[in-house]
Amino acid sequence: MKLPVSLQPLADYQPERVRAALVELLAPLGGMAAFVRPGQKVLLKPNLLAGKPPEKAVTTHPEVVRQVILLVQEAGGVVSVGDSPGIGHPEAVARKCGILAAVEATGARFAPFIDSVPVKVQEGTFHHLEVAREVLDADVIINLPKLKTHQMMGFTGAVKNMFGAVVGMRKVRLHLQAGADPAFFALMLLELAERFPPALTIMDAVVGMEGNGPGSGDPVPIGALLASPHALALDTAAIALVGLNERQVWTQRVATESGRAGSRLAEIDLLGPELAGLRPKRFRPAPNSDIGFGLPAPVKRALRNTVTARPEIAAGCVRCGDCVRHCPPHAMTLDRHGVQIDYHRCIRCFCCQELCPHGAILTRQGALLRIAAFFGGKR
C-alpha cells in the first residue's frame, strides 16, 4: 500500500490563509481528529535551531505553530511545544523566533527539552539512545519541520527534525560517535525517527532555506505545506518538490539503500496538487561535502582535504567562541588571531556552521568537487 503525503499551496503566513491551508492539507488524511483524541497529551516539535527572526527561515514559522496548536486544541488535545536548540536556552530561542508568543497566545505550554532520559533499544544499530523526557511523556508527537538545506546531510526535514529530541550537548556526542561518516550519522537519524515516530508531520515549506543551511542559508519562497503520518515519505516528497535527489541527501540515500518504506517516490500517494506545479523556480542545494565518487573510505580519508568541503571562518566573526565550545572533536581553537580550525581533526559535521549565531562560517568546496562542477559532473 502506498504511503500518503498531502500537499497544499500556501503563498504566505497570513493567519487565515495558514489555517485554511492546514485544514485542506489534513482533510485527505482524516483531519486533525484522525491523529488526536480528546484529553491526549500532544507534543509539537518545531524546528527551533536558533534564536533568529521568522523571516530568516531558520525556524518553523510561528504562525504555522500557532495554527497547528489551535487545530489540536479544537480536537481536544492538551498541547505542549518543545525542542532542544543547537545553541542557547530553549525559551530564549523560542522568544526570539516568535514561537513562545504563539504558544502563550493559545494557552498551550512551552516545554523546553532539558531532562534527558536513557532509552534501551532492542532493534537497529543504536541500542542506547537518550531523549528528552517530554518526548517519552507525550501521547502523540506532531513533528513541525522547516524545509532547509543542511551542510552535512544535504537536507533537513521530517527525519532530521527529530534529532532535536536529543537534549543539548548530547547531540555533540552522537556527532562524535559518527565521526566523519555521514552515512552512519544518517542511519542514526533514521533510527531515532523510527524509534520515536511522530504520529503526524506537517512541514513548513512556505518559505524554505537554500544554500548555506540550516543556519546561514538564504530564505527561498517555495509556497507549500506538506503533511504525512510517515516522516520519511514526507521527506521523499519534499526533496522531489525542490528538485533534489537521494544522492544529494544522506538520510535519503541510506534509507533507499536499506530498502526503507517511503524512500522512493513510487511508494507514495501524493494527495493534492501536482508536485511539478508547486516546484519552486530555483532551489540552491547546500555546497556540501562528500561527492560520492565511490572511493573506498581509507582513500577518501587520505584525500579528505582535497575531496571534501570544509568549514571556513568568514567576515563577521565576533570571536564569541560558541563554535569552539560545540565542535565535537575539539578541532577549533580561539586565539588572538581569531578562530583556527585543525582540518586533520575536523570531521566535517558542520555543527560550527550550523550554530554560528553570526553566519560567519561558510563552506568551501573541495578542489575536486569544484573541478567536477566546472566540467558538469556535479551531483
CB of 118 to ligand SF4, least distance (A): 25
Tell me: does residue 361 bind ligand SF4 (CB under 6 A). Answer: yes
Cα gap 3→106, rounded to integer Å? 32
Tell me: does residue 358 bind ligand SF4 (CB under 6 A). Answer: yes
Q: Which of 351, 362, 363, 366 binds ligand SF4 (CB under 6 A)?
A: 351
Tell me: does residue 85 bind ligand SF4 (CB under 6 A). Answer: no
Q: List 132's β-bridge partners, or say none.
A: 116
Tell me: does residue 273 bind ligand SF4 (CB under 6 A). Answer: no
Tell me: does residue 172 bind ligand SF4 (CB under 6 A). Answer: no
Nearer to ligand SF4, 273 or 321 (CB): 321
Residues 6+ apart with CB under 8 A from 38: 75, 76, 77
Nearer to ligand SF4, 154 or 328 (CB): 328
CB of 233 to ligand SF4, least distance (A): 30
Stretch binding ligand SF4 (CB under 6 A), from 33-41, 104-112, 153-161, 357-365: 357-365
Burial of residue 314 (CB within 10 Å: 0-12, 13-18, 19+) is middle
Stretch binding ligand SF4 (CB under 6 A), from 52-60, 131-139, 209-217, 325-333: 325-333
Q: Which of 352, 363, 365, 366 binds ligand SF4 (CB under 6 A)?
A: 352
Nearer to ligand SF4, 10 or 339 (CB): 339
Tell me: does residue 341 bind ligand SF4 (CB under 6 A). Answer: yes
CB of 205 to ligand SF4, least distance (A): 27
Residues 6+ apart with CB under 8 A from 299: none
Tell me: does residue 17 bind ligand SF4 (CB under 6 A). Answer: no
Tell me: does residue 346 bind ligand SF4 (CB under 6 A). Answer: yes
CB of 195 to ligand SF4, least distance (A): 25
- Of 293-322, which residues contact ligand SF4 (CB under 6 A)? 311, 313, 317-322
Q: Which of 307, 323, 362, 369 binds ligand SF4 (CB under 6 A)?
A: 323
Q: Which of 349, 363, 365, 369 binds ligand SF4 (CB under 6 A)?
A: 349
As given in the structure block, the three cell numbers for residue 24 are 485542506
- Rounded to the nearest 5°, which phi and psi values hold at 202? -120, 120
Tell me: does residue 329 bind ligand SF4 (CB under 6 A). Answer: yes
- Rounded to the nearest 5°, which phi and psi values hold at 162? -75, -10
Cα gap 194→179, rounded to integer Å? 22
**Interface residue list for ligand SF4 (CB under 6 A):** 311, 313, 317-323, 327-329, 331-332, 339, 341, 346-352, 356, 358, 360-361
